Amino acid sequence: MAELNPFRIAQQQLDEAAEALGLDSATHEALRWPMREMIVTLTVRMDDGSVKIFRGYRVQYNDARGPTKGGIRFHPQETLDTVRALAAWMTWKTAVMDLPLGGGKGGVTCNPKEMSEAELERLSRAYIRQVGRILGPEIDVPAPDVNTTPQVMAWMMDEFSALRGYNVPGVITGKPLPLGGSLGRPDATARGGMYALREAAKVLDIPLEGATAAIQGFGNVGQHAGILAQELFHMKILAVADEFGGIYNPHGIDAKALAEHVRETGSVTRFPGTDSITNQELLEMEADVLFPAAIEGVITAANADKIKARVVCELANGPTTPEADRILHDRGIFVLPDILANAGGVTVSYFEQVQNAYNFYWTLDEIHQRLNQKMTKAFADFYAAYQRHKVHPRLAAYMVAVSRVAEAMKLRGWV
């Protein structure tokens, strides 16, 4: 099978929305490409005294609605096209949530699992020394993403502040609490997904109490999704998978105990009381809700006709291809699209920006309440478009987001 190019998929999704909205050709073409992108070469001294060369990226996709916002990934397969795609999705994500932000993304092609903490710190600081000239609280605000952590954000914020000569906590979000981080950030993506799922379950008339679920991916987002699904809705988690394999128990899996097992062993495999399954078997399992919470491109034209979940709640970015979207829609499977379902993370990152700007910090209850309000309103706007236009769910979400970005560009006189 040909490898999926995430940026081609992102453009395809935009093209479908542009056609449905009747966008003029200039606006459509402007939205197909990033406004700015930076490719940098990073030299990092390793612990053994050698110097390694790394390739880094920062893409500012569109800033018509405000400063660009988006994570930084450290990954061996990072490419310019993955960063472009993720920056595009961030643009639509901030717009569908009606946040006063644009979309950006960054990355470094590296394998952080093979690096010491000291080497990671030197890499993080090298990245900011190169990319910092296009960052800032009013310009572009990064955040953690795959293989980056609050500690990495702390080093990056410190390096940026050193370059400026004064503290700039608002240049980056997802920071540790003592450095201006926000309460409620660790589980924000999963919590936002649960609020969106709750709203979807209401309109679809699916009782979540005791509903069954399967989770693909059990990193930070997947773990919090499992724990919150059980705490908020008492859902029964039938299966969980990660990059090493999957586990299944028809009587349910305790998400908190599994998270502890992963901390101790590094994988969900060999969790007591479970049978082994493959990732593909998990995706095609009989369950009320499927949570893709790992990587892009896992539901495709090749397996979409075998998905049996009633709702696909996309906690990962880009897990479903455009062809699969149409197949799922035709089969009556409701997809909660990534730009809505996993937008809790960027929403609480936005809250962190606001708190940094005011130097005044909210309680955890306030964060949860504000996130609940934002997710509920965003779902209502999306679902109204879904009903009005009679299209598949992702297209409805894109129509909301793209129309908002296009309106901002027109008001500015860009197109």
Give the number of domains in the chain.
2
Query: What pLDDT does 162 receive?
Result: 98
Residue 210 contacts by C-beta under 8 Å, 6 or more apart in sequence? 234, 235, 236
Both 88 and 158 in one domain: the answer is yes
Residue 165 falls within a domain, yes or no? Answer: yes
Both 61 and 146 in one domain: the answer is yes
Catalytic residue list: 105
Query: What pLDDT does 3 receive?
Result: 63
Query: What pLDDT does 81 receive?
Result: 94
Both 212 and 308 in one domain: the answer is yes
pLDDT in tens, the chain (415 residues): 346 788 998 899 899 999 999 999 999 999 999 999 999 999 999 999 999 999 999 999 999 999 999 999 999 999 999 999 999 999 999 999 999 999 999 999 999 999 999 999 999 999 999 999 999 999 999 999 889 999 999 999 999 999 999 999 999 999 999 999 999 998 999 999 999 999 999 999 999 998 999 999 998 899 999 999 999 999 999 999 998 999 999 999 999 999 999 999 989 889 998 899 988 888 888 999 999 998 777 888 888 889 999 999 999 988 888 889 999 999 999 999 999 999 999 999 999 999 999 999 999 999 999 999 999 999 999 999 999 999 999 999 999 999 999 999 999 999 9
Question: What does each C-alpha distance from 115 to 7, 41, 46 come to in angstroms?
Answer: 29, 18, 8
Both 83 and 221 in one domain: the answer is no
Query: What pLDDT does 279 receive?
Result: 87
Residue 8 falls within a domain, yes or no? Answer: no
Both 173 and 296 in one domain: the answer is no
Both 162 and 198 in one domain: the answer is no
> Of the candidates 177, 212, 227, which is a domain's last residue?
177
Both 165 and 243 in one domain: the answer is no
Residue numbers of the domain that contains 124: 33-177
Both 199 and 169 in one domain: the answer is no
> Of the candidates 177, 198, 220, which is a domain's last residue?
177
Both 237 and 333 in one domain: the answer is yes
Both 158 and 192 in one domain: the answer is no
Query: What pLDDT does 229 receive?
Result: 96
> Of the candidates 283, 314, 341, which is a domain's last residue?
341
CATH code for the domain of 311: 3.40.50.720
